[in-house]
Chain A
Amino acid sequence: MDFGLSEDQRLLEQSVRSFLNQQVPIDRVRELREHECVIDRKIWRALAELGVTGILIAEEHGGSGLNLLDAALVSEAIGAASTPTPFLSSAIMTAVGLAEVGREQTHAWLKGIATGEIMFGTAITEAFSKREGAGVSSANGTLSGKSMMASDVCTADFILVVCDGDKLAVVRRDAPGISVTKLVTIDKTRCTTEVQFDNVTCEAVFDGCSQAIDRMLQAGRIALAADTLGCCETMVEMAVEYAKERKQFNRVIGSFQAVKHMCAEMIAEIEPARSLMWYAAHSFDAAPDEAPLMACHSLAHIAEIGRDIASIATQVHGGTGWTDEQNVHFWFKRIANARHLLGGPELLRNRAAEVQGLAEAS
């Protein structure tokens, strides 16, 4: 009986955290947000050298074939540093989606992700939410339609697309007929676009992918929960640091119970949420029957505590927390963006009830 991280997992987490602290400090993110797209291929290549872009990819495709819990720890570290990177879209969702498809032609893409040669964006929002007439359909190996709130597409080499509800397609980013429109969000640490497909010739269209799409969403949701958890940790650390330094009424504000209890309440939410996330990630590999429920609950729950923590940690900083100069807003906005990126809490809780047979499937 051992519910916890292994020594290897702790080392992995530490190495990613110290790499990001050194190579992508928040001042670097501040510079990147001025670029046309916040995604920087140099960071992706460096993460590949660290061995984490292929963390979920099987060894036969050049990856390290580790489990989702390992990948989630990386995701958590990325959230803690608020790093702009297509880790979620490429290393988690594309890696899981294509592995589930299991066809020979996926080899080159998986290998490219593992080596850092290839970045994937994802256009998969319509798998759980259709708005503004969005939806992509396939015919004779071509795609038409549009996908909203696509992730990391701008600078990607390929796009993974959910089409016709239960198919997965791979298209080249530069294929004729694709037009990408940047959608400005509050979150400057993620790349968000609308992607239009006009008779775009696909590299591949895979049929009968309901299961693959489900697994891809489960992995993505758990990893995103970990990302938000990482954001929360950093925000609480910053709030506690500030509360230890800032003086008012001749006292550090952290000695006031009103402030102290805000900090205690935040950490009291984070620690059990971490246990929930660990188990959700563990279940993905070790108890796949439980993963559909655990994925919904972990992301919905962490999205909820995340919103409260984002607000409270900012409030601990007082007026300075509301400025651009003070960095807390990067995490505040990253948490807010993550909240609905793969389905919001209400959608996920309804899904959680459905998978337990407590509500009729929609």
Chain B
Amino acid sequence: MDLEYGQRYNDFRAQVRAFVEKHKASRPITSYDPKLREKVVKWLSLQIDAGYWARTIPKEYGGFGAEPDLLETVIMDEEFNRAGVTRGMMAQGPSMLVPTLLEHGTEEQKRQWIGPTMRGKVMWCQGYSEPGAGSDLASLQTAAHQDGDDFIINGQKIWTSSADKSDMMFALVRTEPDAAKHSGISYIILPMNTPGIEVQPLQTMSGDLGENSFNQVFFTDVRVPRTNVVGQRGNGWAIANTTLKHERNSLNANAEGTLFRLMKLMREETMNGVSAMASPVFRDRLMRLQARALSMKHHGMRMLTCSLKKESPGIAGLIVKVQNCQLNFDMSALAIDVMGELGVLYDHTKYERDRGYWQIHSIFSLGLIIGGGTAQIQKNIIAERGLGLPREPKPATT
């Protein structure tokens, strides 16, 4: 056990902290709003030039070109989080498409897309799920059939975050209808303004159509060049799994920050003149959650250590998503109970606490329990890959 980062990293931390303090006022509030596009590009370019975004992406693809160093990444995330500033931008282009292109893209695709994506000039959405292909994603039916040098795409995608505000989509489509389920899929990129694409907003239970908007996307005879396929044709499932790996990595919850916020609420909130923190019942619930938050905090340090040593964390890594998501939901549940009958106030109504943070957090956490692989699918993975329990036998075909 050695929890010190060392002098070189402490110096790096000081530099990042100074940068964030100096520039945080110039950050845009959201990344996807087209009216703020210029400001977003400027803000991201500033970070890339300083080396705090696109840090390890090669210079020829528009990055800063540093050697990968996990501790530097952790320090940057910690320092931006500490100041309440998003590092780079939370969007599916940088978090999912770019790592996939770096691993599987052609030289031309890398040069064309990575730089503009990291700088916020091109915004992306992800076309994976379909109405009939959720947990069983590989059963997707959106078809792309070849027509000369193009594919013609027909079908439907759903749960497509920010499709209404994106320039491009990376999608999974079935290019080999006669191949087996998993080997007939290709990973393809396409402009959202291609004729035949229709985006319909899908209102979520949060009622929020802002940054996290959901959509359905319909494809009718959408023509896309064959050169837009990433990696081998028919190999899309394997490529998507690299991308999903990046998604699960990006679902790291800041449980400790949420816990501090909950403790502040409990000190301030009173009922019948008594603060919630003075209630032994609420306090006991808080302490239970604190123990879980401390578990996940130190578990995160253990996972980080595995990554630094390039060791597989094994089953200890498989359980992170399911535990963190549930913990976040449970923390917001206590906060809502602490506010009692006022806990349901929403959408900036009079008397609402903390600008409605807790109901939004609760509903958003519920979404994360389901999204990126439901908790039930996660438990199958833990049991099958982690514990070696057998898969459910396939039902007899009728």
In the complex, what residues of A have CB within 8 A of residue B286's CB?
Answer: 353, 358
How far is it, in angstroms, between the C-alpha of A74 and the C-alpha of B284 when the chains are bound? 31
Quick one: which of A342-362 are within 8 Å of B by CB?
346, 349-350, 352-353, 358-359
* Residue in A264, A274, A297 whose CB lies within 8 Å of B383: A264
Stretch from A1-9, A48-56, A58-66 contacting the other chain: A1-9
In the complex, what residues of A have CB within 8 A of residue B277's CB?
Answer: 358-359
In the complex, what residues of A have CB within 8 A of residue B280's CB?
Answer: 350, 359
Q: Decide: A353 and B319 in contact? CB cutoff 8 A.
A: no
Interface flag for A304 (CB, 8 Å) = yes
Q: Decide: B302 and A1 in contact? CB cutoff 8 A.
A: no
In the complex, what residues of B have CB within 8 A of residue A346's CB?
Answer: 284
Interface flag for A10 (CB, 8 Å) = no
In the complex, what residues of A have CB within 8 A of residue B383's CB?
Answer: 254, 260-261, 263-264
Given A2-B305, A304-B288: A260 in contact with B389 (beta carbons within 8 A): yes
In the complex, what residues of B have CB within 8 A of residue A244's CB?
Answer: 388-390
Stretch from B50-58, B136-144, B289-297, B356-364 contacting the other chain: B289-297
Interface flag for A279 (CB, 8 Å) = yes
Stretch from A163-171, A199-207, A265-273, A330-338 contacting the other chain: A265-273
Q: Decide: A350 and B284 in contact? CB cutoff 8 A.
A: yes
Q: Decide: B387 and A240 in contact? CB cutoff 8 A.
A: yes
In the complex, what residues of A have CB within 8 A of residue B301's CB?
Answer: 1, 3, 275, 279
Interface flag for B391 (CB, 8 Å) = yes
Interface flag for A44 (CB, 8 Å) = no
Name which residue of chain A comes closest to B6, CB basis: A1
Quick one: which of B375-398 are within 8 Å of A by CB?
376, 378-380, 382-384, 386-393
How far is it, in angstroms, between the C-alpha of A297 and the C-alpha of B384 when the chains are bound? 31
How far is it, in angstroms, between the C-alpha of A256 and the C-alpha of B391 when the chains are bound? 8
Interface flag for A96 (CB, 8 Å) = no
Interface flag for A93 (CB, 8 Å) = no
Q: Decide: B319 and A240 in contact? CB cutoff 8 A.
A: no
Name which residue of chain B comes closest to A351, CB basis: B287
Given A260-B389, A301-B292: A2 in contact with B2 (beta carbons within 8 A): yes
Given A3-B304, A271-B299: A264 in contact with B379 (beta carbons within 8 A): yes
* Residue in A255, A268, A282 whose CB lies within 8 Å of B323: A268
- Against B, the Cβ 8 Å flags (1 = close, 0 = not) of A27-63 are 0000000000000000000000000000000000000
Name which residue of chain A comes closest to B324, CB basis: A272
How far is it, in angstroms, between the C-alpha of A141 and the C-alpha of B199 when the chains are bound? 86
Interface flag for A286 (CB, 8 Å) = yes
In the complex, what residues of A have CB within 8 A of residue B304's CB?
Answer: 1, 3
Secondary structure at chain A's binding surface: helix, strand, loop or mixed? helix
Interface flag for A139 (CB, 8 Å) = no
How far is it, in angstroms, between the C-alpha of A57 and the C-alpha of B384 when the chains are bound? 43
Interface flag for A251 (CB, 8 Å) = yes
* Residue in B6, B9, B298 whose CB lies within 8 Å of A279: B298
In the complex, what residues of A have CB within 8 A of residue B388's CB?
Answer: 240, 244
* Residue in A251, A254, A267 whose CB lies within 8 Å of B315: A267
* Residue in B288, B298, B322, B378 whose CB lies within 8 Å of A3: B298
In the complex, what residues of A have CB within 8 A of residue B290's CB?
Answer: 297, 352
How far is it, in angstroms, between the C-alpha of A278 and the C-alpha of B294 when the chains are bound? 11
Quick one: which of B268-296 are within 8 Å of A by CB?
277-278, 280, 283-284, 286-288, 290-292, 294-296
- Against B, the Cβ 8 Å flags (1 = close, 0 = not) of A264-305 are 110110011111101100100010000000100110110010
How far is it, in angstroms, between the C-alpha of A304 and the C-alpha of B315 when the chains are bound? 21
Interface flag for B316 (CB, 8 Å) = yes
How far is it, in angstroms, between the C-alpha of A91 and the C-alpha of B371 when the chains are bound? 48
Given A255-B393, A349-B288, A358-B277: A264 in contact with B387 (beta carbons within 8 A): yes
How far apart are B290's CB and chain A's nearest CB, in angstroms? 7
Interface flag for A98 (CB, 8 Å) = no
How far apart are B388's CB and chain A's nearest CB, in angstroms? 7
Given A3-B302, A350-B284: A297 in contact with B294 (beta carbons within 8 A): yes
Instruction: Name, among B4, B298, B299, B390, the residue most crowded by chain A CB atoms within 10 Å (CB to CB).
Output: B298
Quick one: which of A235-270 are within 8 Å of B by CB?
240, 243-244, 251-252, 254-257, 259-261, 263-265, 267-268
Given A272-B299, A275-B301, A297-B294: A267 in contact with B387 (beta carbons within 8 A): yes
Given A272-B296, A275-B299: A353 in contact with B291 (beta carbons within 8 A): no
Interface flag for A223 (CB, 8 Å) = no
Q: Decide: A1 and B323 in contact? CB cutoff 8 A.
A: no
* Residue in B299, B308, B387, B391 whose CB lies within 8 Å of A1: B308
How far is it, in angstroms, between the C-alpha of A25 and the C-alpha of B286 when the chains are bound? 40
Q: Decide: A264 and B382 in contact? CB cutoff 8 A.
A: yes
How far apart are A197's CB and chain B's nearest CB, in angstroms? 35
Q: Decide: A3 and B392 in contact? CB cutoff 8 A.
A: no
Name which residue of chain B comes closest to A255, CB basis: B390
How far is it, in angstroms, between the C-alpha of A240 and the C-alpha of B306 when the chains are bound? 25
How far is it, in angstroms, between the C-alpha of A243 and the C-alpha of B91 when the chains are bound? 42
Given A272-B299, A346-B284, A350-B284: A261 in contact with B376 (beta carbons within 8 A): yes
Interface flag for B71 (CB, 8 Å) = yes
How far apart are A178's CB and chain B's nearest CB, in angstroms? 38
22 pairs, A vs B, C-beta closer than 8 Å: A1-B5, A1-B301, A3-B298, A3-B305, A4-B309, A240-B387, A254-B383, A254-B390, A255-B390, A255-B391, A260-B383, A264-B387, A272-B292, A272-B295, A275-B295, A279-B301, A300-B287, A304-B288, A346-B284, A349-B283, A350-B284, A359-B283
In addition to A3-B3, A272-B295, A350-B287, 6 A-B residue pairs with Cβ atoms within 8 Å of each other are A3-B305, A4-B1, A240-B388, A267-B386, A274-B316, A346-B284
> Which 3 residue pairs are nearest across A and B when measured between Cβ atoms?
A349-B287, A301-B291, A272-B295
